[in-house]
């Protein structure tokens, strides 16, 4: 499942990169300026007629005005970040287990068939809690203390698996606004170059560079905010699962103590 979604993310990225490359080639040609003018005329036409500008048309116009270079990098951060976030959300959703029912099944299996029967129950149940129980059952013959240490150690392994990929998501959250600010600096440089070339500081001279600066900044901040929401949601899900793991592990150790006393 993880490889499938990562494949979809890579395919989407390749498609998007191909579209960006095509857009950059058009931007290098004289027809790009005409395309921007036509887009602005469309916006003006809708504004003059009192109709709302279609969202895709407005986004396309702002993307072109912001510059394909920096805007494409910001969009790539959004695509990769969303791919990681969706993969993590699905992984955590599949990791959710009804621990109360699992514990009841393990205790019933211990009463009925002993350790081997309990292992079978854990093997047939998905999720990190069942994996932790199985690791503990593998060392049941070594005493409860060893079982408890095994559960603690393997719980750390499961936590690492749940947090896998979050460092990359945090990277995209940090780099998206940084790219936007870099675009801001580039836009300001363009504005000052225009002032120097024209020898004038009129609004028309600096408007182009200032527009690039503002659009790239807004794009980077929006991408960072979207990814931050998903990041916090994933962290909250991991915290809830870790609490459930700790609580169920304590109850599992108690069940093992009772089982050893009855032997």
| Residue 17 pLDDT greater than 50, yes or no | no
The CA-atom distances, in angstroms, between 252 and each of 154, 160, 260 are: 14, 21, 12
Residues 161-173, mean pLDDT to the nearest whole number? 92
Domain that residue 47 falls in:
1-263
Q: What is the mean pLDDT of the chain?
A: 75
Instruction: Give the pLDDT score at 257.
Output: 84
Query: What pLDDT was estimated at residue 64?
Result: 57
pTM for this predicted structure: 0.71
| Number of domains the chain contains | 1
pLDDT over threshold 70, residue 96:
yes
């Amino acid at each position: 499942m993880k490889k499938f979604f990562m494949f979809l993310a890579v395919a989407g990225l390749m498609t998007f990169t191909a579209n960006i490359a095509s857009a950059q080639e058009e931007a290098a040609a004289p027809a790009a300026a005409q395309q921007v003018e036509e887009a602005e005329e469309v916006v003006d036409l809708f504004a003059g007629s009192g109709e709302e500008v279609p969202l895709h048309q407005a986004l396309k116009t702002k993307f072109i005005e912001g510059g394909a270079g920096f805007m494409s990098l910001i969009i790539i951060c959004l695509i990769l970040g969303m791919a990681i976030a969706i993969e993590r959300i699905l992984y955590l959703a599949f990791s959710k287990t009804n621990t109360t029912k699992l514990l009841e099944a393990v205790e019933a299996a211990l009463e009925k068939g002993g350790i081997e029967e309990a292992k079978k129950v854990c093997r047939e149940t998905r999720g990190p809690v069942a994996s932790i129980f199985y690791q503990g059952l593998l060392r049941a013959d070594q005493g409860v203390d060893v079982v408890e240490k095994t559960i603690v150690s393997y719980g750390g392994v499961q936590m690492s698996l749940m947090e896998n990929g979050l460092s990359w998501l945090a990277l995209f959250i940090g780099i998206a606004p940084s790219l936007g600010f870099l675009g801001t600096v580039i836009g300001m440089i363009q504005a000052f170059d225009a002032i120097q070339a024209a020898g004038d500081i009129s609004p028309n001279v600096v408007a182009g560079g200032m527009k690039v600066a503002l659009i790239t900044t807004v794009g980077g901040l929006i991408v960072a905010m979207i990814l931050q929401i998903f990041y916090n949601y994933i962290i909250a899900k991991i915290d809830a699962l870790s609490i459930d793991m700790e609580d169920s592990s304590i109850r599992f150790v108690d069940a093992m103590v009772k089982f050893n006393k009855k032997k």
